[in-house]
Amino acid sequence: MTKDELAMLDFAVKWAPFGGGDEHILPEFGVFPAVFYRRLQRLLTRHPSVNDSVRRRLDELCTVKLTPARPDRRRSHSRVPTMH
């Protein structure tokens, strides 16, 4: 594992409990969060030396971060049904 990859992994482990630390990714690594999470996912698959529980937790974080936000569905449920 390179120094840069190790730095990404350390950062992800440190910030995962706090939602990922997205605001720190660009200044720290010079890439946008989506790029960081894609690179982190590739790193996790290429390096079997990463602990399985850490790998699962970080892969889940990457998946959440890379999944587009769904439209607010509360509006469709906020209507008061009419009584007939």
Domain-located, residue 75: no
One-letter amino acid at 16 equals A
Rounded distance between C-alpha atoms, residue 50 and residue 60, angstroms: 15
pTM of the model: 0.79
Which residues lie below 8 Å from residue 49, measured CB to CB, with a gap of 6+? 1
Domain count, the chain: 1
Domain-located, residue 42: yes
Mean pLDDT, range 15-33, rounded to an integer: 96
pLDDT, residue 70, reads 72
Query: Could you tell me the two tokens for 25?
Result: 């990714």
- Report the run of H or E that residue 23 belongs to, with start and end: helix 22-29
Domain-located, residue 73: no
Query: Could you tell me the two tokens for 11?
Result: 């950062």
pLDDT digits (tens, 9 = 90+) for 32-83: 999 999 999 999 999 888 899 999 999 999 999 999 877 665 555 444 445 5
Rounded distance between C-alpha atoms, residue 46 and residue 49, angstroms: 9
